[in-house]
Homo-oligomer: A and B are copies of this chain.
Amino acid sequence: MSVRIGIIGAGVMGADHAKIFAEDVGGAELRLIVDADPARARALASRYGAVSGTDPEALIARSDIDAVLIASPDFTHAPLVLACLKAGKTVLCEKPLSPLSAECLAVMAAEEAGGVQRVQLGFMRRFDQSYQEMRVALRDGLIGRAVMMHNFHRNVENPAADFTADMAITNSAPHEFDVARFVLGTDYLAVTAFSPRLESGKVGPVVMVLETSGGQVVTIEVNNNAAYGYDVRGELVGEEGAVSLASPLHSRIDRGLQQVTPYAADWRPRFAGAYRRQNRAFVDFVRSGAFPADGASAWDGYAASVIAEAGVTALKEGRRVVVGMIPQPEFYRKRTD
């Protein structure tokens, strides 16, 4: 039996997820796509033989939908996830779970009240082969105990006209916040932030230094106007060695006294495989009820929001800010036995 899927939001991310569920993973059936803009929903749905609509609540309520993908605007995420939980639907929600950590706590409370995990968060980098290999190298003892992790996130330019310096931390950095937690298996204690000046007047980069409960130092550069290309780098430094991400390249051109390899203009080529594996894991999650081993939970969404809030304060006030997280609920502990 195929898993019957409904998608909320027919923008860039919704369209990518629709394609993946329709073409790139087996065992899924794309049934319904809703969007506030009916024409946009219709155009996307028709491409994959699905039905379209405009009402997310109605989608969540339908009995012929097994699982929901949320790719609507950030502020709608938490309310829609709560609606899914109420309706007993398994949900894959694009990050962030909520920009507000308080809302994340509300989702966690509702999920725990239901007694079973139903919320997977779209931190797809956990499914990227590079980070997976980094994590395996650490686990297998190839580099000794983890000491530092350096992360660089670079976009060609601002995703939108009203982008602010805060959003570099609340919108772009969460992927880094989460994947460093995923790789290291520790939480953050404090954050300090620095921001160089751009003469172009664009939103400049932010350099953050995070201290973890494991005694590690994590650096994160978020550079939304790096100009030269979409580029994500990372290095995990251990007491006996180091492991670095490599961006997969497929060919190289030699011409005009130059050796050239291309950068992508956005994140999609770099993380296409990660999205595919994430959504594959989600389909298996819906089928089996077992939360994906590498999946991000509501707890991980909460952790990212708390750190982002502290980061914004650190940048604004020019000081080291201690991160105040609640202790991890038993409900969200991974059972490793």
Least distance between A186 CB and chain B CB atoms (Å): 11
Please report the total number of A residues contacting B with Cβ < 8 Å.
Answer: 78
Question: Across the interface, do A228 and B255 meet the contact criterion of CB distance under 8 Å?
Answer: yes
CB neighbors of B among A256-286 (8 A): 256-265, 280
Complex CA distance for A255 and B253, rounded to whole angstroms: 15
A259 partner residues in chain B, CB cutoff 8 A: 229, 260-263
- Interface stretch (choices A61-69, A97-105, A111-119, A136-144): A136-144
Residue in B129, B148, B243 whose beta carbon sits within 8 Å of that of A221 in the complex: B148
* Copy total for this chain: 4
Contacts of A217 in B (CB 8 A): 194-196, 205, 207
Do B137 and A253 touch across chains, with their CB atoms under 8 A apart? Answer: yes
Within 8 A of B (CB), among A192-237: 192, 194-200, 202, 204-205, 207, 209, 211, 215-217, 219, 221, 223, 225-229, 231, 237
| A336 contacts partner chain B, Cβ-Cβ < 8 Å | no
Q: Is the CB of B192 within 8 A of A280?
A: no
Out of B22, B134, B241, B249, name the residue touching A248 (CB < 8 Å): B249
A250 & B133 in contact (Cβ 8 Å cutoff): yes
A41 CA / B198 CA spacing, docked (Å): 54
Chain A 131-172 interface 0/1 with B at a Cβ cutoff of 8 Å (1 = within): 011100100001111011010000010000000000000000
Write out the residue numbers on chain B whose beta carbons fall within 8 Å of the beta carbon of A258. Answer: 228-229, 260-263
Contacts of A132 in B (CB 8 A): 250
Bound form: Cα–Cα A259–B259 in Å: 8
Given A219-B207, A258-B263, A249 contacting B246 (CB threshold 8 A): yes
* Cα A24 to Cα B188 with chains together (Å): 36
Given contacts A229-B258, A257-B265, contact A248 B248 (CB under 8 A): yes
Q: A7-15, A25-33, A302-310: which one contacts chain B? A: A25-33
A317 interface residue per 8 A CB criterion: no
Residues of B within 8 A of A37 (CB): none
Given contacts A24-B25, A265-B257, contact A215 B196 (CB under 8 A): yes
Q: Which residues of chain B are near A106, meaning CB under 8 Å?
A: none
Q: Does A254 contact B (CB under 8 A)?
A: yes
**A51 contacts across to B, CB distance below 8 A:** none
A-B pairs, top 10 by smallest CB distance, nearest first, are: A241-B255, A197-B215, A248-B248, A133-B251, A196-B217, A228-B254, A246-B249, A130-B250, A129-B250, A228-B241
